[in-house]
Chain A
Amino acid sequence: MLVDLFFELRHYGLKVGPQEWLTLMRGLSLGLHDSSFTSFYNIARSILCKTEHDYDLFDRVFAHHFKGVEIQAARLNEEILSWLRQAKNLLDLSPEELAAMEKLDLDELMRLFEERLREQTERHDGGSRWIGTGGRSPFGWGGAHPTGIRVGGESRGRSAMQVAMMRRFRGYRTDMILDIRQIKVALARLRELTREGSVDELDLDATVERTCKNAGELELVWRPPRKNNVRLLLCMDVGGSMDPHSRLVSRLFSAAYSSRHFKAFEALYFHNCIYDEVYRDASFRKPVSIDDLLQKHDRQTKLLVVGDAMMHPVELYQTHGAIYYMQLNASPGIDCLRRLAEHFRRAAWVNPEPESYWRHPTVAGIRALFPMFPLTLDGLNSAVSSLVRGSGQRSTANRPVGSGAAGWASWG
């Protein structure tokens, strides 16, 4: 009976291994639970759960297992959400097909939506009428109708400048393997140890040598302890097309922020592309001009940019092309990026989109300036190596995009 509990916990996503299970069995065989059900519950929980966030899940499974309490309802909800989440792949549509689809105004759209919501009784993928996923109906999610109503899921409208640029469905996974700890370990390799500061560490070898030269008269030699001299500047693209990646990016941020080993660390934000200013806050209220930025951070500072580099070409290559009409950038985004790339001796761009999407013209344009790496564990490690060793890795920027398949594999 207890083995069932084990598998049930695993089924509902609690990562229990045989080691924990055997530990529990040993505890029970020692009579720790005192023949009390409550103590059994306490003991099982203390051994099987490793964080308080698992407590609730554990409680539900436990209650279900022993009292037959229904947790089917919760599961059912999950199922409904998951078919919206794991939608069928989007159809590739020709421009003619797109044009053929009539564009509806909003009132009409809402009316049809409500009408069809009433008529529809089951899941629907593909097709052109029902609310569902991956289809050409104006309703649903992950669809390809030029106008339309989105039901759940995250925004797929990639380019703010145009609507009809369609791409295949992205593999956005919630069970991302990159957790904060892994990112931290990757970032921990970002170091340049130098001896600076107060002299308070005994240099044993030098002491022995000096003492010998001194004919045995003890002479202590002190030196400053080794410290990491890395200054890191983190620039993050937030909002819009980056929303689906916000969890991953925020993990990267918190890992970098809480890493104590940088000599200096600054995080700045931008939207879509860097123009004349970047921002200290994610709501873009505290601007820092690029001139000030370059003045403050010398060439030794390492620049790590996080962004999907995916935008309308106008936004990258033209003056006044910024996505915010009022921004009126005097120089095109690409010039600004070039200034950054030329100023900092070590810079890297981390892209949360899988490599197979890097064919996009603006991604390619930015890759010519910055070595680009996918935001996976491997990618991050390469980015860190590139920041430490420098341009040796830059050649990867010109690697044929065909190798993107390898990038995919590392997501699984």
Chain B
Amino acid sequence: MKLFRRKTQGAQAETFRRFEGTDTYITSQALQDAVNVSLALERPLLLRGEPGTGKTLLSHAIAEGLGMDLITWFVKSTTQAAEGLYVYDTVARLHDSRFGDKDVDDINQYIKLGPLGRAFKAPSQVVLLIDEIDKADIEFPNDLLNELDNMTFTIAETGEEVTALHRPMVVITSNNEKELPDAFLRRCVFHYIEFPDPELMREIVAVHHPGLEKRVVDQCLETFYRLRDVSGLRKRPSTSELVDWIAALIHSGVDVSRLGKEIPFLGALLKQEQDINKVAGGGR
């Protein structure tokens, strides 16, 4: 991470931080640029891509690379937008009114901030990951528009206005196209994480398995990409599966020169039974 100082048109200096990947997370130039646009323009970064291309991991890498804390909001089908701001624990307050020795007049102690609320109140800038936003109700993104735009909301029970001390770097991942409203999309910086080409994959493998012989990596990658090209697979193997598979190969001491003929630990690469049968049966 470096600090850059640049002249803007108004001859007024602006500083922003740049993300350049981390030791364990290798990015493409395009992804770095997208992250930096999002950082500099304070727009949410919307990520799409095949499963296993590291959409979720990216936010960890940004947090690590820029030395920020990471707050994650895992969206589920029942998640409401309001939960991201705060939850008012009525039951605890009622309970305390009867049994507790706390002062129930102080509503604040029953207000539990959600991920968005915590990100706003954080003393320094944080990375906020809203993971799999498309899982929630169709109106979910719309309900968050205002909060993400103005970075402020009001707690109805106390009248307190929560305003972001530092605009969080918002990273949103989505698996489903066509689900997000236009008004929401207009505000986002979009990046589609492509599946890594063999060259980038070589770097990624090198990060996880340093010191692996080039010959071995070549052989593994060749098998891996050949497997990905098999048509009609239900779930094509992705980066994380490749890394696990190579780990399994190393630990078991399999002779990689045999890879051309058979694929050991096929289950590490393919997770669906039909896929395994397809490759094991029709491969040779």
List the B side residues contacting A38 at CB < 8 Å: 29
Asked if A401 is at the interface of the complex by the 8 Å CB criterion, the answer is no
Asked if B40 is at the interface of the complex by the 8 Å CB criterion, the answer is yes
Give B20-42 as 1s and 0s: 1 = Cβ < 8 Å from A's Cβ atoms. Answer: 00000000011001101110110
Say which residue of A27, A184, A204, A220 sits within 8 Å of B37 (CB atoms): A27
Asked if A47 contacts B98 (CB within 8 A), the reply is no
Asked if A179 is at the interface of the complex by the 8 Å CB criterion, the answer is yes
Asked if B74 is at the interface of the complex by the 8 Å CB criterion, the answer is no
Asked if A27 contacts B98 (CB within 8 A), the reply is no
Asked if A42 is at the interface of the complex by the 8 Å CB criterion, the answer is yes
Which A257-289 residues sit within 8 Å CB-CB of chain B?
Answer: 260
Asked if B226 is at the interface of the complex by the 8 Å CB criterion, the answer is no
How many residue pairs link A and B with beta carbons under 8 A? The number is 89
Say which residue of B14, B94, B185 sits within 8 Å of A50 (CB atoms): B185
Residue of B nearest to A45 (CB): B30
Q: How far is the CA of A55 from the CA of B40 in the complex (A)?
A: 23
Q: How far is the CA of A29 from the CA of B138 in the complex (A)?
A: 36
Q: How far is the CA of A184 from the CA of B185 in the complex (A)?
A: 18
Asked if A181 is at the interface of the complex by the 8 Å CB criterion, the answer is yes
Asked if B8 contacts A42 (CB within 8 A), the reply is no
Q: How far is the CA of A42 from the CA of B33 in the complex (A)?
A: 6
List the A side residues contacting B179 at CB < 8 Å: 180-181
Asked if A127 is at the interface of the complex by the 8 Å CB criterion, the answer is no
Asked if B167 is at the interface of the complex by the 8 Å CB criterion, the answer is no
Asked if A49 is at the interface of the complex by the 8 Å CB criterion, the answer is yes
Interface segment out of the listed B121-129, B186-194, B251-259 = B186-194
Give A79-118 as 1s and 0s: 1 = Cβ < 8 Å from B's Cβ atoms. Answer: 0000000000000000000000000000000000000000
List the A side residues contacting B34 at CB < 8 Å: 42-43, 46
Asked if A188 is at the interface of the complex by the 8 Å CB criterion, the answer is yes
| Distance of B100 from chain A, by nearest CB (Å) | 11
Asked if B90 contacts A185 (CB within 8 A), the reply is no
Q: How far is the CA of A179 from the CA of B182 in the complex (A)?
A: 12
Which B185-212 residues sit within 8 Å CB-CB of chain A?
Answer: 185-186, 188-192
Asked if A20 is at the interface of the complex by the 8 Å CB criterion, the answer is yes
List the A side residues contacting B166 at CB < 8 Å: none
Asked if A185 contacts B185 (CB within 8 A), the reply is no
Q: How far is the CA of A23 from the CA of B178 in the complex (A)?
A: 23
Asked if B6 contacts A30 (CB within 8 A), the reply is yes
| Distance of A27 from chain B, by nearest CB (Å) | 5
Q: How far is the CA of A217 from the CA of B30 in the complex (A)?
A: 63
Contacts known (A42-B33, A180-B178, A220-B94); A31 close to B186, Cβ less than 8 A: no
Give A1-39 as 1s and 0s: 1 = Cβ < 8 Å from B's Cβ atoms. Answer: 000000000000000010110010011011111000011
Q: How far is the CA of A24 from the CA of B10 in the complex (A)?
A: 17
Asked if B67 is at the interface of the complex by the 8 Å CB criterion, the answer is no
Asked if A27 contacts B7 (CB within 8 A), the reply is no
Which A40-91 residues sit within 8 Å CB-CB of chain B?
Answer: 42-43, 45-47, 49-53, 55
Residue of A nearest to B31 (CB): A42
List the A side residues contacting B191 at CB < 8 Å: 46
Asked if B177 contacts A218 (CB within 8 A), the reply is no
Asked if B60 is at the interface of the complex by the 8 Å CB criterion, the answer is no
Asked if B29 contacts A39 (CB within 8 A), the reply is yes
Asked if B95 contacts A26 (CB within 8 A), the reply is no
Q: How far is the CA of A155 from the CA of B38 in the complex (A)?
A: 48
Give A190-214 as 1s and 0s: 1 = Cβ < 8 Å from B's Cβ atoms. Answer: 0000000000001010010001000
Q: 10 A-B Cβ contacts within 8 A?
A: A17-B186, A30-B14, A30-B40, A39-B33, A42-B29, A43-B33, A43-B37, A50-B188, A52-B192, A179-B178
Which A residues fall within an 8 A CB radius of B? 17, 19-20, 23, 26-27, 29-33, 38-39, 42-43, 45-47, 49-53, 55, 179-181, 184-185, 188, 202, 204, 207, 211, 216-218, 220, 260
